[in-house]
Amino acid sequence: MKSCPDPEIRRISDESGGLLPVTGPAPRVLILGSFPSRKSLMHREYYGNPQNHFWKIMDTLFAIDTGLPYPARLDRIRELDLALWDVVRSCSRPGSADAQIRGPVFNDIAEFAALHPTLQLIVLNGTTAARYYPQAAGNCRVPTVILPSTSPANTRYTLVEKTKQWSVIKEE
């Protein structure tokens, strides 16, 4: 058997795919990314790249301190009735660029929504999540909104602009 020259790539490719959903019993908002970055997969953490703006936005909107350990940040996400997941369950992708996703296999978003009738909104974190969402959504009828990607590759918007648009997830 030929070995993979890069142990990090081999470790990632040996994983079963993306990350499991993070949710409490009654989520009101499901935040869907496209597929985790290499750093996120290596750390087994949503938005595990420190350059990603996601946790900075959560800190501004909900006072989830970016310095908290990851499990504590997830506890706060659940307390706020937010859920995290990705549209793509597994794929082939060199590096972390969404444009390089090949052979995507999708998570069953419709099933998640059926199991969580409290869902009021699905947030698509960027255009790649939005592009793949119809294939993953099935008959899901929960309203959706596309928000600017929190990825460090998205330089079209500043952190302040992203945070302003992401404020739609706050309870009114």
pLDDT digits (tens, 9 = 90+) for 2-57: 333 333 433 333 344 899 999 999 999 999 999 988 889 888 999 999 999 999 99
Residue 10: burial class (beta carbons within 10 Å; 0-12, 13-18, 19+): exposed
65 in a domain, yes or no?
A: yes
In this prediction, residues 143-160 reach a mean pLDDT of: 93
130 in a domain, yes or no?
A: yes
Q: Tell which residue, 105, 100, 108, has the closest CA to residue 90.
A: 105
User: What per-residue confidence (pLDDT) applies to 95?
Assistant: 67
151 vs 50: CA distance, rounded Å: 10
14 in a domain, yes or no?
A: no
Residue 113 belongs to a domain with what CATH number? Answer: 3.40.470.10
User: What per-residue confidence (pLDDT) applies to 62?
Assistant: 97
pLDDT category at 82 given cuts 50, 70, 90 is: very high
C-alpha count within 13 angstroms, C-beta hemisphere, residue 102:
5
Q: What is the pTM of this model?
A: 0.87
Give Cα 144 distance to the centre of its chain: 14
Q: Domain range holding 158? A: 29-169
132 in a domain, yes or no?
A: yes
Q: Tell which residue, 60, 70, 46, 47, has the closest CA to residue 152.
A: 47
Mean pLDDT taken over the chain: 87
Give Cα 158 distance to the centre of its chain: 19
Among the listed ranges 9-18, 47-56, 89-98, 157-166, which one has the minimum average pLDDT value? Answer: 9-18
User: What per-residue confidence (pLDDT) applies to 172?
Assistant: 44
Structural domains in the chain (count): 1
